Structure 1
Amino acid sequence: MSKPNSKHDQNVKFADNERLKTQSKHLRGTITEDLSDPLTGGFTADNFQLIRFHGMYQQDDRDIRPERTKQKLEPLHNVMLRARMPGGIIKPEQWLAVDKFAGDKTMYGSIRLTTRQTFQFHGVLKPNIKEMHLTLHDVGIDSIATAGDVNRNVLCTTNPVESALHQEAYEWAAKISEHLLPKTRAYLEIWLNGERKDTTDIEPILGSTYLPRKFKTTVTIPPNNEVDVHANDLNFVAIEEDGKLVGFNVLVGGGLAMTHGDVNTYPRKADDFGFIALEHTLQVAEHVVSVQRDWGNRVNRKNAKTKYTLDTFGIDEFKAEVEKRAGVKFADSRPYEFTHRGDSIGWIEGIDGKHHLTLFIQNGRILDYPDKALKTGCRKIAEIHQGDFRMTANQNLIVAGVPTEQKAEIEKIAREHGLIDDADTEQRKSSMACVSLPTCPLAMAEAERYLPDLVTKVEQLLIKHEVANDSIILRVVGCPNGCGRALLAEVGLVGKGPGKYNVYLGGNKEGTRVPKLYLENVGEDVYLPALDTLIGQWVNEREQDECFGDFVIRKGIVAEVKVSKTDFHA
């Protein structure tokens, strides 16, 4: 890590997370001691951060925090676990185990599908944490490196239509995930009683202090950009010839997180480094990571992501260093095009003759509601399903690989339990939110709990302007950390305070443009009338097939963000 330190002030102290990782005994800390401490439901000191490397975040229910404080009780500490599921594929028998643990041992009883194409448990109390890991391990699931300063769950286009190409892409996503995993035995020792022995404490790729900041990777198959490549540090865009995968265009340096009021932070699109053949995939992945490991900012964590490293050293210099370390030259990028990034809700038939049912799951929250027993429905499907499930980056669930003779039975279960609802509009299907309150400690405003009502109000605006069948990509997040990918939306609401949001406009359907601030720190009494006016303008003045985001750019309602470093805050 010598190079970036020469360009950072040597008198500035490293971020405390660097001390924490250095002293952690390769991510062990004193987690085991904390687990056996009955005096608190939480993790103390450094362990609060270290459990993230094991796929968990300590949280509490913020709705009841004031009452517990009044009673002189500590917050109701619990953990959220995020599983490692490269490509989002999960087998029915795994789903059943996940369903049972969620119902028996979590505070909320739900399974939460995430924008990282995996599932989360929310509300696991400390006495149940080790059992959770053992339960998942028994069915072949872990949560290694789904949080913390490491490469996180690798996304892959679900694409059940082109199943042969998808299978190859998925296999590369799984290989990349395994290749970039931490090698420390800490996870195995603490949670699995040291059961497996195929790891070491030497970290040849991540290094002894791991990465400067979180790192996200995708494998995507055009023309669907469902994984939102520009939200990720490293992306492998599949290039096919005659129906066969021949290599990838490599896109580096995307990311959406920022900090309110800090103009040195901004969302950024990824840059296209060029094409590589398949056989170079793992070494290129490794050395994009190793350059970021060595050159990334370890002084200021707000500027530690790969996007800032590229802007600090320059794209050409970063790319040349990757080529030097990997022993691979990037060829000219091969042509490709993204045309959309949504999920095809409903049935489609794959090239293999099997059928695939994509279920729209609002907010990704699978739970039995009074009017929709979603969790029971998914369980009943899992009990008879012969294929697999695929969790999408849009928080939906695909029942994949259904034979023709089983199609009617699965649809019947789905309809009976509200997993298929013909009343769901295109606008509802095009809207997404992060978890936010009450569990996320970073949340400034509501998101998941607010989205359903907000969508209804936007639907009413579309009806008013006689475009009820149209839709706008709408995303709501409780803070500016990027989890719900609002800063790639046509309309993105980013939480600023209770009931208050910054409103960003100007993303596009393809997910290739960052939106720009339109309204700051406003409530729905301000932004809904503004959207009403803008939707009216769009309907009356748009060009043929022009999406809302393109319209507001063309009309100069907001300026286009071309270079985030200079344009986003301008």
Structure 2
Amino acid sequence: MSSDNKTLIVEGKLSDNERIKTESRHLRGTIAEDLKDDITGGFTADNFQLIRFHGMYQQDDRDIRAERTKQKLEPLHNVMLRARLPGGVITPDQWLSIDKFAEEHSLYGSIRLTTRQTFQFHGVLKPHIKLMHQTLNKVGIDSIATAGDVNRNVLCTSNPVESEVHQEAWEWAKKISEHLLPKTRAYAEIWLDGEKIETTDKEPILGDTYLPRKFKTTVVIPPQNDVDVHANDLNFVAIAESGKLIGFNVLVGGGLAMTHGDHSTFPRKADDFGFIPLSHVLQVAEAVVTTQRDWGNRVNRKNAKTKYTLERVGVETFKQEVERRAGIQFAESRAYTFTSRGDRFGWVEGIDGKFHLTVFIENGRILDFPGKTLKTGCREIAKVHKGDFRLTANQNLIIAGVPAEQKEQIEKLAIEHGLIQGAVSKQRLDSMACVSLPTCPLAMAEAERYLPGAVDEIESLLEKHNLSDESIIYRVTGCPNGCGRAMLAEVGLVGKGPGKYNLHLGGNREGTRIPRMYRENISHEEIMAILDDLIGLWAKDRQEYEGFGDFVIRTGVIKPVINSAKDFYE
């Protein structure tokens, strides 16, 4: 099959992941048998990959790996589970259940809020894995398709100021999530002791070998770009008229991951395909996914994501195929503007008269720290809260739907446990990192543990140059896979090795421009020296309201990335 001499299907020897999926019996593998093997704390052979489709990654504590090797012990294998929470909404009863499990059955006792607008358990040992899934199932939560080559947790703008539009958008996020889920019964059979039945396990959307690579979807409500649309394969930008949702602009082909030293990989912004009414949402979502399913690269996983398919076959060819499969025509895109992408902290009153409190959770790590008992505070609030919680894609927490008469009680608990803190700088609020070491097996450098001290130094630099009221969108990721979304930051650090990072500059506050690498493989001290000089120039020569990223582009410190595929590495 070809169009305009562009090959639509990549020929060649399939990657081994394709064999794993083909032989998995629709994601069952021998996971159930592996669970009974107490000789190892990990999963063996293909199951190491297959458990990802069930929402888990096998990890170990890399801080103690060498010591365990000396003791002739295998690494301390455990799993990280990522829950499926479309739009990040969770009830107080659900919160109490996950809090209890984390306290009693994880190595770290923490709940981690992630950039995928959900929570993660870290450090769950093999004997507790089945209990973890069954505990979540009892309160209506699962981890189906939050990892692996499938459509993952669907994000949705989380700040519910425009309550009616947000409610509708969230409902669409849930519908899209359900529509694109795998149909196999493997999850229920393995983890919930579901009855094994004769079934063909047809996968009409994902296909019997699922997608070529992971796939991410968002629903976003302008002017907030809090889900970072350009980090995702498929995005529905809400268009409202007179306070009512009428449809979406559809953006396709964003993604931030790359591989060090491989210039065939790069971050890419999503393309705007056009506007669709609400009645077309599910068929368009399905058409985009199935087109990527059929045309995506199953030979080279490094080039398997949707962004590379668009680059290879052409945006217009891909768009036309989506229209053909969905039986629709995209209309001209409706106008919209992104003005910010951070969370709005503090109290906000919704149009329904209820109040919503957004609290800052540094790195999304909910745990009791000295003088800041975040985990206990969330638990105590959950015991009395009459609304719900909303997790944000920026790792923060919204205590939502608080009636006026309960506002004082919630605020008192939040202050008592450090969820509301005296003075958190704007810079700290605009900084983010992935988990990285010690648990992520892909990590090359520190991120979560590095960020707080690095922010301290940037705060000092801003103060030194009389910019204490300003901030820079600053993000750190421990490897080039993009979880911390550093490739949409004004200053983005990408881990290269222990204590070394690639420094990227030139993104913008709205999240619509990719930064370019400014220096490669440099230390923290070198990074801070560079930022000291550049912040000094920014303080001296910036235009009114000009952000740091726009300043370094305007003044020629670095060239803007116009087309990431063609000029990202120039």
Instruction: Indicate whether the TM-score tops 0.5.
Output: yes
> Counterpart in 2 of 1:477?
477
> Counterpart in 2 of 1:164?
164
> Counterpart in 1 of 2:235?
235
> Counterpart in 2 of 1:66?
66
- Distance in 1 between residues matched to 2:449 and 2:2, nearest whole Å: 46
Q: Secondary structure at the match of 2:142?
A: coil
1:400 aligned onto 2:400: yes
C-alpha displacement at 1:177, in angstroms? 0.1
> Counterpart in 1 of 2:140?
140
In structure 2, relative to structure 1, the CA distance for the partners of 1:209 and 1:463 (3 Å cut) is same
Q: How does 1:533-548 map to 2 (within 5 A)?
A: 533-548=533-548
> Counterpart in 2 of 1:278?
278
1:207 aligned onto 2:183: no
> Counterpart in 1 of 2:356?
356
- Distance in 1 between residues matched to 2:287 and 2:198, nearest whole Å: 23
> Counterpart in 1 of 2:335?
335
Deviation sequence 1:136-178 (CA, Å, 0-9, x none): 0000000000000000000000121101100000000000000
- Distance in 1 between residues matched to 2:197 and 2:160, nearest whole Å: 35
- Distance in 2 between residues matched to 1:14 and 1:119, nearest whole Å: 33
- Distance in 1 between residues matched to 2:436 and 2:559, nearest whole Å: 29
> Counterpart in 1 of 2:251?
251
- Distance in 2 between residues matched to 1:512 and 1:252, nearest whole Å: 14
Aligned residue type for 1:284: V
Q: How does 1:19-34 map to 2 (within 5 A)?
A: 19-34=19-34
In structure 2, relative to structure 1, the CA distance for the partners of 1:437 and 1:295 (3 Å cut) is same
Deviation sequence 1:369-390 (CA, Å, 0-9, x none): 1121000000000000000000
1:176 aligned onto 2:171: no
Q: How does 1:150-549 map to 2 (within 5 A)?
A: 150-194=150-194, 201-549=201-549
- Distance in 1 between residues matched to 2:106 and 2:284, nearest whole Å: 40
Structure 1 segments, 4+ long, off by >3 Å, are 1-10, 195-200
Are the equivalent residues in 1 in contact too, given 2:146–2:152 (CA < 8 A)? yes
- Distance in 2 between residues matched to 1:21 and 1:74, nearest whole Å: 27
Aligned residue type for 1:201: D
Q: Secondary structure at the match of 1:558?
A: coil
- Distance in 1 between residues matched to 2:551 and 2:486, nearest whole Å: 18
> Counterpart in 1 of 2:90?
90
Q: Secondary structure at the match of 1:127?
A: helix
Q: How does 1:89-128 map to 2 (within 5 A)?
A: 89-128=89-128
Q: Secondary structure at the match of 1:358?
A: strand
Deviation sequence 1:39-96 (CA, Å, 0-9, x none): 0000001000000000000000000000000000000000000000000000000000
- Distance in 1 between residues matched to 2:197 and 2:40, nearest whole Å: 32
- Distance in 1 between residues matched to 2:295 and 2:86, nearest whole Å: 27
Aligned residue type for 1:330: F
In structure 2, relative to structure 1, the CA distance for the partners of 1:313 and 1:534 (3 Å cut) is same
- Distance in 1 between residues matched to 2:217 and 2:244, nearest whole Å: 22
Are the equivalent residues in 2 in contact too, given 1:2–1:295 (CA < 8 A)? no
Deviation sequence 1:530-562 (CA, Å, 0-9, x none): 000000000110111000000001111111001
- Over aligned residue pairs, what C-alpha RMSD do you find? 1.5
Are the equivalent residues in 2 in contact too, given 1:292–1:309 (CA < 8 A)? yes
Aligned residue type for 2:358: T
- Distance in 2 between residues matched to 1:95 and 1:356, nearest whole Å: 17
- Distance in 1 between residues matched to 2:547 and 2:195, nearest whole Å: 53
- Distance in 1 between residues matched to 2:304 and 2:214, nearest whole Å: 9
- Distance in 2 between residues matched to 1:198 and 1:423, nearest whole Å: 60
- Distance in 1 between residues matched to 2:264 and 2:538, nearest whole Å: 33
* Structure 2 unaligned residues grouped into runs of 5+: none
C-alpha displacement at 1:454, in angstroms? 0.4
- Distance in 1 between residues matched to 2:314 and 2:275, nearest whole Å: 19
1:558 aligned onto 2:567: no
Aligned residue type for 1:473: I
In structure 2, relative to structure 1, the CA distance for the partners of 1:199 and 1:110 (3 Å cut) is farther
In structure 2, relative to structure 1, the CA distance for the partners of 1:366 and 1:195 (3 Å cut) is farther
Are the equivalent residues in 2 in contact too, given 1:238–1:248 (CA < 8 A)? yes
User: Aligned residues, how many?
Assistant: 569
> Counterpart in 2 of 1:76?
76
Deviation sequence 1:346-372 (CA, Å, 0-9, x none): 111111111100010000000001121
Are the equivalent residues in 1 in contact too, given 2:267–2:487 (CA < 8 A)? yes
Aligned residue type for 1:59: Q
- Distance in 2 between residues matched to 1:45 and 1:153, nearest whole Å: 26
- Distance in 2 between residues matched to 1:195 and 1:172, nearest whole Å: 31
- Distance in 2 between residues matched to 1:461 and 1:491, nearest whole Å: 14
- Distance in 1 between residues matched to 2:409 and 2:21, nearest whole Å: 51
- Distance in 2 between residues matched to 1:225 and 1:445, nearest whole Å: 28
Are the equivalent residues in 1 in contact too, given 2:8–2:295 (CA < 8 A)? no
Aligned residue type for 2:260: H
Q: Secondary structure at the match of 2:368?
A: coil
Q: Secondary structure at the match of 1:537?
A: helix
> Counterpart in 1 of 2:131?
131
Aligned residue type for 1:22: T
- Distance in 1 between residues matched to 2:426 and 2:525, nearest whole Å: 24
Deviation sequence 1:311-337 (CA, Å, 0-9, x none): 000000000000001001000000000
- Distance in 2 between residues matched to 1:238 and 1:197, nearest whole Å: 41
C-alpha displacement at 1:9, in angstroms? 6.4
Aligned residue type for 2:435: V
Larger mean CA deviation between 281-290 and 344-353 belongs to 344-353
Q: Secondary structure at the match of 1:459?
A: helix
- Distance in 2 between residues matched to 1:288 and 1:403, nearest whole Å: 41
Aligned residue type for 1:315: V
C-alpha displacement at 1:524, in angstroms? 1.4
Are the equivalent residues in 2 in contact too, given 1:185–1:200 (CA < 8 A)? no
TM-score (norm 1): 0.98
Q: Secondary structure at the match of 1:246?
A: strand
Are the equivalent residues in 1 in contact too, given 2:6–2:312 (CA < 8 A)? no
C-alpha displacement at 1:198, in angstroms? 13
Are the equivalent residues in 1 in contact too, given 2:87–2:170 (CA < 8 A)? yes
Larger mean CA deviation between 402-411 and 58-67 belongs to 402-411
Are the equivalent residues in 1 in contact too, given 2:490–2:509 (CA < 8 A)? yes
- Distance in 1 between residues matched to 2:451 and 2:394, nearest whole Å: 14
Aligned residue type for 1:352: D
- Distance in 1 between residues matched to 2:13 and 2:259, nearest whole Å: 21
Are the equivalent residues in 2 in contact too, given 1:183–1:199 (CA < 8 A)? no
- Distance in 1 between residues matched to 2:248 and 2:68, nearest whole Å: 53
Aligned residue type for 1:63: D
- Distance in 1 between residues matched to 2:6 and 2:514, nearest whole Å: 30
| Identity between Structure 1 and Structure 2 (%) | 73
Deviation sequence 1:474-513 (CA, Å, 0-9, x none): 0001000010100000000000000000000011110000
Deviation sequence 1:289-324 (CA, Å, 0-9, x none): 000000000000000000000000000000000000
